[in-house]
Structure 1
């Protein structure tokens, strides 16, 4: 009965109008920004990970903010989420996950710019920004800001806690850790490690690179051992994107199911359109909104276009087949074990646990920020206990209930965020245009500085004719 109620709430708050509106905004902003994430693809990396700027000592750097945002997005959704997408929507769901990521880069780019433009800063305090701050300060709508904050608290307990713990239970079982003991241990760690963005980035900046490299290393081994299956797996993704027969559905129904599964699971993993990852970027010391927005683009590239793609290829190339009665997390463990053996299963289990822990710490930070905004800084201990208890509760829930509750909370958070995006996107476009003009001006000045000056006293002569 409870699960039926959760499913009904999920269909109401996370129906096709919501995720289609998120995808449509990504397309719209990509057009209005002249495809910034595509035309400046190389420069985005130059502005971010390869900027070569020396780190200052005070405040949270953009690199640390990226680690927190990646910790929140590169979670078990990259394993269990991809596995569940394949089981429900078939290989074609991965194609739609790519589509959501390509245009989601534009969405999160806009989100970060607006958050940076409207964040609250005060001497001696960490900057605070996000959809709730923008809705309150820029659109003067405390009601919508409150809805977003409430949705963010719910999402931190659903997508940020329940989904992560549930997906990590099979991984903990690989190390002979009973579910109840695992839930108690995780809840205790979360209660003791509870803190704000400053404490979170100290954990994520060390944990995220390690877990990402370890997981990609395992995936590389699987793909090397199953290299002959990669073309078949890639072909299945494109062929079944429009002709999928998922869970017995065919024709238009199967196509819509693949599209819905790919887009929604893509939003789940990269958080573009939800407004959650913006908390980390707005809390950094960076002052340029567009440059900070480039870090959001990098986040989606790493999370979905790299991590999720590699995971999907490994699962499809493993050749174990997709059984609809198998949950996404178990499907991933079986796929890696079939190729790499028991030690491969333990390796991917360890990565799953690290993903879950990193995401839990990032989302408790997001939820804490929303809770403090909602209750004016009061009752933080209540949320602290609630988050820890939810971690224990997550080990007993079914996968369908966990995904449905997560989708419902995502929808509650996405609605006010979409209102903000559709109302204020011209501000972000203006910032992008100013940034591009400044960039062209600096390029022209640099070119003129490199041009040799004429000899003193010489008069400019005619331009010599050059043969074609």
Structure 2
């Protein structure tokens, strides 16, 4: 058992190792340069599309642009933003945040390409319903001979979409912040109650399919980002005297690596190790290039692939540049990163408790709960998409029962083995996604040029 545990731990760290980062960051840089940074010129236009200015109810698809973005965001805005940033700072210091930003900017380009492809090469499932996602754009864009790559993506997706890590961390947060301080004895039975509560809420949403997930996500995600934003602004206002100092420190330490362990080096130095650490945390946070978000964006009601790509591009900006930065500044300005040995979600909780002793941790718990619950809804959809591709759309509902069972497992056991397995296969999803995206990139560029011409034409007509 111990051998298996170590094997899966090694598999997970290998999967999230240097080759994957070269593929994600190197591939993303290639896409950014290949498009001459063009998508970034259309951020204003992307916001107009998101607001529904170009919506056409007769277009193919199941959910609006806004619902597609919030569904994708509900999966990525989660523990990576609260616990992941804390891990980045506690190990790497303030400079790690800068490299997370770099990862987000590259990730915006990757999301633009993958989500454009999700609409450009939509396929049909066995029921004849139009679907999008890496498995479909691999087969439709590259041809039937590439189907093994699509099958590999879907098989990894079946396991990678299981919510064990998310549920495990949420149960831990409820125990640490709510139950233990109030004298409640925690153990298997209390965890089981949490599991059943999570199962009940999740089942109500996910059994209604993508339309219900889209509606719930479009209401929850803006609310939770706004609540989190307000809470962190309170912290920053109360520590405004040191805010500029820490903002400057993020930039200077990014190239000095003064807080990074000196015995850990990469590419000949500590700075290399810090860059790798920050970029890895950023990639883990916004999931650009993994292939999950294109499954949500592929369901959008649009016949213009570029529009969906532009909307998807806003994802890493909201996820990493806004939410992760808020978490980082809360941890840095309160000084808890230097005064406590806490890590992960406990470090973020310490920052909130430092400023708002009575209600800070509870307010954070509300955010964590909503962040995690919304992730549960989106990941179930990703899993059913993979199930449908592999075994037919009439079998996809079976995945939900398997998914619900894994929620109970995640809440009631430590399951470090399963978490490492899920973590590892989740990373492997990036291999088929990025390979197909890099090969199909010229088709996206061609479509982008045609779209910009059409936009100028319609503006001229107006």
State if a TM-score over 0.5 links the two structures: yes
Separation in structure 1 between the aligned mates of residue 455 and residue 126 of structure 2, nearest angstrom: 30
Give unmatched runs, 5+ long, in structure 2: 185-189
Separation in structure 2 between the aligned mates of residue 11 and residue 170 of structure 1, nearest angstrom: 23
Q: Could you tell me how far 1:359 is from its partner in structure 2?
A: 0.5
**Map of 2:155 onto structure 1:** 150
1:424 and 2:440 are equivalent in the alignment: yes
* 1:54-73 alpha-carbon deviations (Å, 9 max, x no partner): 67499421111112111111
SS of residue paired to 2:63? coil
1:331 and 2:347 are equivalent in the alignment: yes
1:73 and 2:79 are equivalent in the alignment: no
Once the two structures are overlaid, the 10-residue window that deviates more, 390-399 or 417-426, is 390-399
* 1:36-87 alpha-carbon deviations (Å, 9 max, x no partner): 23322333223323x5456749942111111211111111211111112222
SS of residue paired to 1:246? coil
Contact map agreement 2:232 2:327 (CA 8 A) in 1:
yes
**Map of 1:345 onto structure 2:** 361
Q: Could you tell me how far 1:301 is from its partner in structure 2?
A: 1.3
Residue of structure 1 aligned with 2:165, choices 163, 178, 181: 163
Separation in structure 2 between the aligned mates of residue 330 and residue 415 of structure 1, nearest angstrom: 33
Contact map agreement 1:80 1:167 (CA 8 A) in 2:
no
Residue of structure 2 aligned with 1:17, choices 7, 16, 19: 19
Contact map agreement 1:243 1:250 (CA 8 A) in 2:
no
Separation in structure 2 between the aligned mates of residue 400 and residue 305 of structure 1, nearest angstrom: 30
Give the 3 Å change call, closer, same or farther, for CA 37–406 of structure 1 in structure 2. farther
**Map of 2:6 onto structure 1:** 4
Q: Could you tell me how far 1:402 is from its partner in structure 2?
A: 7.3
Separation in structure 2 between the aligned mates of residue 37 and residue 340 of structure 1, nearest angstrom: 41
1:394 and 2:396 are equivalent in the alignment: no
Alpha-carbon RMSD across the aligned residues, in angstroms, is 2.6
Q: How does 1:47-446 map to 2 (within 5 A)?
A: 47-49=49-51, 51-53=52-54, 56=57, 59-120=62-123, 126-139=129-142, 140=144, 141-157=146-162, 161-173=163-175, 174-176=177-179, 178-195=190-207, 196-244=209-257, 245-249=259-263, 252-322=268-338, 326-377=342-393, 379-380=395-396, 382-395=398-411, 404-445=420-461
**Map of 2:187 onto structure 1:** none
Give the 3 Å change call, closer, same or farther, for CA 55–319 of structure 1 in structure 2. farther
Q: Could you tell me how far 1:397 is from its partner in structure 2?
A: 6.1
Q: Could you tell me how far 1:322 is from its partner in structure 2?
A: 4.4
Separation in structure 2 between the aligned mates of residue 215 and residue 110 of structure 1, nearest angstrom: 29
State the structure with more CA Rg. 1
**Map of 1:35 onto structure 2:** 37
Q: TM-score, normalised by structure 2?
A: 0.88
Q: Could you tell me how far 1:378 is from its partner in structure 2?
A: 5.7
Give the 3 Å change call, closer, same or farther, for CA 93–404 of structure 1 in structure 2. farther
Separation in structure 2 between the aligned mates of residue 55 and residue 209 of structure 1, nearest angstrom: 23
